[in-house]
Each structure stands twice: as C-alpha cells, then as structure tokens.
Amino acid sequence: MPILQIREALREAIDEEMERDDRVFVMGEEVGYYNGAYKVTQGLLEKYGEQRVVDTPIAEAGFAGVGVGAAMAGLRPIIEFMTFNFSAVAFDQILNNAAKLRHLSGGQFTIPMVFRGPNAAAHMLSSTHSQAFESFYCGFPGVKVVSVATPYDAKGLLKSAIRDDNPIIFFESEVMYGVKGEVPEGEYLIPIGQADIKRPGSQVTVITWGQGVPITLEAAKMAEESGIDCEVIDLLTLRPLDRDAILQSVKKTNRAVLAYHGWPYGGTGAEVADLIAREAFYDLDAPVERVCYEDINFSYAENLEELAIPSPKQIFDAIAKVAYHSL
C-alpha cells in the first residue's frame, strides 16, 4: 500500500474527483501557478488548465462568494483558504449564503461546495494566525464540518465532501501536511458523520480530532505503560457528531477525556461533554475531563505558545485523574 503525506492524499482526492466530474474545480490564492501554499494543488493547473484551477486575488469574501454562485449554478467548487484565519473576512458568504440558501430557496438550490485549508495553531504565528474555528462553524446549521489527521482519512473524507450536496468546512493542519501514512490505491470513501476508533481500549475513552489525534495517541501509550487501557476516538466529523460512537465507548469504559486543539469556552469539546453528561451520566465513574488550549490569545514567542497548547503529558494526567490512578 502506498505511503503518502497528507498533502499528497488531499491532492489525490482532488485530482480523482476533478477527473471523474468536470463540474469540480479549485479556486483560491496561489492554488495554480504557485502550486498551492502547501503544495496540495501541485500539478493540477498543468493538467486541468486555468478554468478549473483558478488563482484569485487576496479577496476571500470575493472568491468565496463566486464559489457559492458557482455551486448554485450546478458546479462543485473547492475553495481553498490559505488558512482558515483568512476565512474570517468571508463569514457573510459562508454563513449567510452557503449555509442558508438551500433553506431560503425551499430546496430549489443545493450548495455542493467545500471550503478547505489549515485550521488552529501552527508554529509561532501569533494570535491572529493561530485560531481554531470549529467552535464557530459548528455553531451554525446548514454546514457540515470535518477535521482530518491522517492521509487515509484526508483522502477518503475529502472525496466524500466533494460529492456531498451541502457546503462542507474541511479542516486540515499546517503542521501536519507532511504526516505520512498508508493510502489504498483503489477508490474508497469515508462517510461523513462517522467517527473512527484509532485505538481500541476498555478503561478510559479519550475523544479527539485534528491536531489532537497524534498527541492523544502518544498519551494513550504513556497510559498503557502505567496500566491504563485507553480507547481513542477520532471524531473526524464535528458536525454532525457520531453520537452513537461516543456514547457506546463511554458506556463501555465509564470514563471520558476530551483532548483537542481549541479553546475551552463553548465549541465541540463542550458539546461532547454536554452530550455525555446528558446521555451517559449514570454510566460515568468520574467527571468528564477536558484538555485543550489555555483560554488566552496566542503569543508569537515559542515558549509561551507551547504553554498554551495541550501536551501528551497533560492528556495523560487527565486520563490518570479519571481512572483514579495515582501519579
């Protein structure tokens, strides 16, 4: 089975879907002649031409709006944000147009489009370029939200997102584009709305997504060395949540930890904790723990940034706490 980087897996997904369906096109800053800021779209301009790989000005509101109009007209645009921090200037197009036009038109229009790019902290990019946006986008009906951490998931979920008739927010990570993993050669799709058990276990459920996945798996290894067997669930889709996967695991282990790149107030972590409290309260043997960003804006300084981001040791401490394991 081929070993690909996440950027290569995403490129394969886009390439295969553009070849399969001539309605699919890519638009964004530097996606064409520069081959993409993170080289996800490398080689696609040469293969498909300027009408289907469209370089744009630095005008996210403009090209997001063009994408919405194209989707209304029957095309299937992939809108790349160089970073989701820049999607802030396109909120009106995404949330008042893409997310609502199917409802406002009484179903006369579908909006089959993908907004994709890196989300959350990268490395020493300071506060305006280190924001986690899932809490914002998950808070609005009309969109689906996906977050990937492996090449296999990246390809299978992006292909599903491109084929979906709803607008999809597709989160990647700047610091994870080079992560390698096995990707099948043949066609495969991963259903949107389905979580994945990255590590089966019986004593503590640890729920994560995106950049939280590798550090959570590292924490689970630390826990194993201390005699605690963790089940690690990668949500993959943040909206709609795979409620069944979450609840089945928690009812099996009777303990839950949430470990993720995002802020503590509101958002997906709080939503999952609420779900567990409402639907699995009597199955819990310990309160739900959350390990996430400190509730502050990020500094540029590397040492201060590191203190604000969850670490494997912090996740392990939370696992030990819910397992009543003395450290």
pLDDT in tens, 237-280: 999 999 999 999 999 999 999 999 999 998 999 999 999 999 99
- 129 flagged as catalytic: yes
Query: How many other C-beta atoms lie within 10 A of the C-beta of residue 3?
Result: 10
CATH class, 196-322 region: alpha beta
Tell me how far CA of residue 57 lies from CA of 25, 49, 60, in angstroms: 17, 18, 8
Active-site residue, from 60, 80, 134, 289:
60
Residue 82 has pLDDT above 70, yes or no: yes
Of 71, 69, 68, 81, residue with least CA distance to 165: 71
Distance between CA atoms of residues 135 and 318, nearest Å? 22
Residue carrying the six token digits 């996967």: 245
- Take residue 6 and report the two structure tokens written for it: 């996440």
Interval 35-77: pLDDT, tens: 999 999 999 999 999 999 999 999 999 999 999 999 999 999 9
Instruction: List, for residues 264-323, the tens digit of each pLDDT value.
Output: 998 999 999 999 999 999 999 999 999 999 999 999 999 999 999 999 999 999 999 999
Residue-level pLDDT at 327: 56
Evaluate if residue 129 carries a pLDDT over 60: yes
**Domain ranges in the chain?**
3-182, 196-322
Among residues 118, 233, 215, 111, which one has the least CA distance to residue 164? 111
Catalytic site includes residue 60: yes
pLDDT tens figures, 138-186: 999 999 999 999 999 999 999 999 999 999 999 999 999 999 999 999 8
Residue 326 has pLDDT above 80, yes or no: no
Out of 129, 218, 224, 279, the active site residue is: 129
How many angstroms separate the CA atoms of 267 and 119, rounded?
14
pTM summary value: 0.97
Q: Would you state the structure tokens that stand for residue 197, as one six-digit string? A: 């058990």
- Single out the residue of 213, 244, 209, 71 nearest to residue 142, CA to CA: 71
pLDDT confidence bin for 325, thresholds 50/70/90: confident
What CATH number has the domain spanning 3-182? 3.40.50.970
pLDDT digits (tens, 9 = 90+) for 186-205: 899 999 999 999 999 999 99
Assess whether the region 3-182 and the region 196-322 belong to the same CATH fold.
yes
Contacts of 298 (CB under 8 A, 6+ apart): 121, 125, 126, 127, 130, 304, 305, 308
Percent of the chain with pLDDT over 70: 99
**Residue-averaged pLDDT of the chain:** 96
Q: How confident is the model at residue 1 (pLDDT cuts 50, 70, 90)?
A: confident
Give the per-residue pLDDT at 101.
97
